[in-house]
Structure 1
Amino acid sequence: MSLFQSHFQVTQSAPAAVLTAQTFAAAVDALTAQDDVLAATVARFGPPPFWQREPGFGTLLHIILEQQVSLASAKAAYDRLRAAVAPLTPAGVLALDDD
């Protein structure tokens, strides 16, 4: 049992809302209607780009890594995980030992 498994219980959550180009644009509109500074920024520079990645656990893991370290380091760590866990699933990651 890994350290994570001994301290946390994995549960099911409600299905996520689907983010599309249309729902993203609606969200930008809703946020800019509530925040004048954001509205001015979007008016000056345009809305943020709508980037789309393949849905799934691997993408979530990659995004979390990118938030924590440089993009190059995140890619290296993600590539090591993919090599160690095939297929890359929550259960596979949980099955890793602490080494």
Structure 2
Amino acid sequence: MPLPVFHALDHVLVVDVDEVIDIANAEHIRTALVRRLLHARGQRADTVVVDLRHPCLEDAQALARAVTLRLLVVASHPLTRSVLRITAADRQLEVYPRLTAALRAVR
């Protein structure tokens, strides 16, 4: 099943990852996210915002850089942001607490 995506601004796609990521679905989510990133250019996007409830993005960040996309992450739950901070993933990712904050950073 593909991840929901919508245009927030003319050149910004938002991918919504709202399910709990675990061993049973991590590969599915990774594959769906890779597909979205690879198709973003065809949708005239130069930025992808991943609205993430749980961390799972290091591969996506590397791919986004490889295809010259900017990747922003929305992690609204404080625990999710803590995990990103503890694992130092927030040094590699642009993490925002709210979708509106991520979209403001794009403008």
TM class by shorter chain equals under 0.3
Higher alpha-carbon Rg:
1
Q: TM-score, normalised by structure 2?
A: 0.25
Give 1 or 2: higher strand fraction.
2
Give 1 or 2: higher helix fraction.
1
Q: TM-score, normalised by structure 1?
A: 0.26
User: RCO (CA 8 Å, sep 6+): is it higher in 1 or 2?
Assistant: 1
